Amino acid sequence: MFRILVSDPISEQGLAALYAAENMQIDIKMGLKEEELCAVIGEYDALLVRSQTKVTAKVLESAKRLRVIGRAGVGVDNIDVETATRCGIVVINAPDGNTISTAEHTFAMMMAMARKIPQADASLRRGEWDRKSFVGVELNNKILGILGLGRIGTEVAKRAMAFGMRVLAYDPFLTESRAESLGVRKATVDEIVTQADFITVHTPLTKETKHLLSEREFEMMKQGVRILNCARGGIIKESALIEALKSGKVAGAALDVYEEEPLAAEHPLRDFQNVVLTPHLGASTKEAQINVAIDVADEVAKFLRNEPFKNAVNLPSLPAERMQQVQPFLTLGEKLGKLAAQLLKGNVSKLQITYGGEVATYEVGPITRTILKGFLAYHHGDEVNYVNAPFIAEQNGIIVNETKTSKAKVFTNMITLEVESNGETKTVTGTLYNGFGPRIVQINGYTVDAAPEGQMLITLHEDIPGIIGRIGTILGNDGVNIATMQVGRREAGGTALMVMGVDARVSGQALNEIARMEPIHSVYLVEL
Ligand SMILES: NC(=O)c1ccc[n+]([C@@H]2O[C@H](COP(=O)([O-])OP(=O)(O)OC[C@H]3O[C@@H](n4cnc5c(N)ncnc54)[C@H](O)[C@@H]3O)[C@@H](O)[C@H]2O)c1
Ligand SMILES: O=C(O)CC[C@@H](O)C(=O)O
């Protein structure tokens, strides 16, 4: 039974699939303070939040059973993603469900600000009939500067163009051809701040975007510029905006998000007549809330059931068809990692992974992760998973290199893992035979053909008559049945490598007996 904690208001309709699932138990506990969340989180496999719950390092350190955090929305700045990654907890968001609602809210805010609608409405409610104080400006022919042309920024741009605005956009990933196809002009931040009549931000809040619009940028802006923020508080430096509002440089602002939420009752932004404020309502529509809840519930359920999911924030995300290409190689990768780990002793300094043949044309990041997981879990146990494996490798000073080549010897696909430890290198190579699954095809340069499964006895020995029979006798006396056997050698009479699949665990005594045989150079008991 998976236990799921919902700690923020998330649409019940969206969670219906989780309620219906037999093996999921959902508890709703809202408004928990950090200490209260720490006290209960240890009982849960999954946590579902919106933006109110702060998933801090302290919460995560108490979350011994937690495997996944689902964020019903886009921004994950209320979650300590770095610590979650370190703890091996997947963070999943629902990036698509509230795009339109937030773009529409931004547009509603822009129009409300341009035509002073909230102020006129408040005046009428006070019993006045004042037509002079509420003269607005048109959007038509104005320049809108958009910082961040992702999902929401793009939808805002489309709406702005329908209103006759000219759009300048800056996004580090905006290409000329995409700008052209959207009908916007690609610009720098400085061009936008100096030329725009309206400026709206649609980036996440990151180290780079924090105070993207600060004193310097306000200084450069046109007199009478209007500013919008329906993304995250802190992208625009509030104190600089307040100064620019006071000086009259900024003629109006429309804000949905703040550096500190909820906005303090005495906050100076509440005093400006030309500022329109909403309490983080961008995603607050019936449609968006159902959409994000459905999306996140579906993804979290898939994750818990070990089914493919797509919106992980702390994992490389691949489109479904590209994930399908690499999926069959994930088991092979993990087995190669596990095998290499058991062939080595001592501190590992470098893992070199070479993808050859068709697999080299795929996005191999997920395979590399499973190789690392298989390799590191042998030494670090269950604490290593697909999420934190690269982090744990880095923490242990292991250099991980990926290379790709079109060559794969006689195979269609080939993955080679080369591990360096104390000046010694071990190499294992695997392939995926159509219909036969993963195979180990080379160990330290010796060609074999072994299914990486169960217990395996691997020996490096002198290629002389009688060796294999003697090993067979020792195993027979130990009550161990031999299931499969493969021998690879470079030349007759040199050294040979034998891989034996065995049906039961070989005892320490039998293993020592084999190791003591004169022609045996090394023996490994491997479990895959
Ligand atoms: N007010 C709300 O209720 C609400 C609702 C949804 C989303 N949001 C916020 O809106 C943000 C944007 O959402 P989205 O779905 O469009 O995300 P997105 O990831 O699709 O788009 C963000 C864009 O910002 C760009 N970017 C990153 N750094 C940048 C920089 N330094 N300068 C310019 N652009 C930069 C990225 O390249 C990306 O294209 C979210 O991060 C979230 O914080 C707020
Ligand atoms: O949960 C909300 O309403 C806010 C959502 C929004 O800020 C987001 O980042 O998706």
Q: Over 80: is that where the pLDDT of 40 sits?
A: yes
Domain boundaries, the chain: 2-95+288-314, 99-277, 316-448, 454-528
Q: Over 90: is that where the pLDDT of 436 sits?
A: no
Per CATH, the homologous superfamily of domain 454-528 is ACT domain (3.30.70.260)
Amino acid, single-letter form, for residue 189: V
Name the residue with the closest Cα to ligand 2, atom 6: 73
CATH class of 316-448: alpha beta
Q: How many CB atoms lie within 10 A of CB 453?
A: 14
Q: How many angstroms separate the Cα of 204 from the Cα of each of 74, 95, 191?
A: 9, 12, 21
298, 292 in Cβ contact below 8 A? Answer: no
Q: Is 112 helix (H, G, I), strand (E, B) or coil?
A: helix
pTM to 2 decimal places: 0.77
The pLDDT tens digits of the residues spanning 44-87 come to 999 999 999 999 999 999 999 999 999 999 999 999 998 998 89
Query: From the CA atom positions of the chain, what is the Rg in Å?
Result: 30
- Confidence label for 317 from pLDDT (cuts 50, 70 and 90): low
| Domain over 99-277 is classified CATH 3.40.50.720 | yes
Per-residue pLDDT at 386 = 84
The pLDDT tens digits of the residues spanning 382-403 come to 778 888 999 889 988 899 999 9
User: Residue 38 belongs to what H/E stretch?
Assistant: helix 34-41
Ligand 2 atom nearest to CA at 93: 10
Q: Give me the chain's average pLDDT, please.
A: 94
The pLDDT tens digits of the residues spanning 172-205 come to 888 999 999 999 999 999 999 999 999 999 999 8
User: Residue 495 belongs to what H/E stretch?
Assistant: strand 495-502
Span 2-95+288-314: which CATH code?
A: 3.40.50.720
96 vs 74: CA distance, rounded Å: 8
Per-residue pLDDT at 207 = 83
DSSP states along 446-491: EEEEE---SEEEEEEEE--TTHHHHHHHHHHHTT--EEEEEEEESS
372, 400 in Cβ contact below 8 A? Answer: yes
CA 143 to chain centre: 35
Tell me the CA–centroid distance for residue 150 and ligand 1, in Å. Answer: 6
Tell me the CA–centroid distance for residue 348 and ligand 1, in Å. Answer: 40
Q: What are phi and psi of 421, to 5 degrees?
A: -145, 125
379, 344 in Cβ contact below 8 A? Answer: no
375 vs 307: CA distance, rounded Å: 23
Rank 269-283, 409-423, 427-441 by mean pLDDT and report only the highest: 269-283
Quote the crossing angle between the two packed helices 467-477 and 508-516, to the nearest 10°.
160
DSSP lists the bridge partners of residue 520 as 461
Question: In a mutational test of the pocket of ligand 2, which residue from 8, 11, 30, 50 has the highest number of ligand atoms less than 8 Å from its CB?
Answer: 50
Tell me the CA–centroid distance for residue 294 and ligand 2, in Å. Answer: 15
Q: Over 80: is that where the pLDDT of 346 sits?
A: no
257 vs 103: CA distance, rounded Å: 14
Percent of the chain with pLDDT over 90: 84
Instruction: Provide the terminal-to-terminal Cα distance of the chain, rounded to the nearest Å.
Output: 28
Q: Is the CB of 186 under 6 A from ligand 1?
A: no
Q: Is the CB of 75 under 6 A from ligand 1?
A: yes
Residue list, ligand 2 pocket, CB within 6 Å: 50-51, 73-75, 98, 280, 282-284
428 vs 419: CA distance, rounded Å: 9
Q: Over 90: is that where the pLDDT of 318 sits?
A: no
Domains 2-95+288-314 and 99-277 share a fold: yes
DSSP lists the bridge partners of residue 92 as 70, 312
Please state the length of the chain: 528
The pLDDT tens digits of the residues spanning 515-526 come to 999 999 999 999
Known catalytic residues?
232, 261, 280
Tell me the CA–centroid distance for residue 29 and ligand 2, in Å. Answer: 19
75 vs 272: CA distance, rounded Å: 28
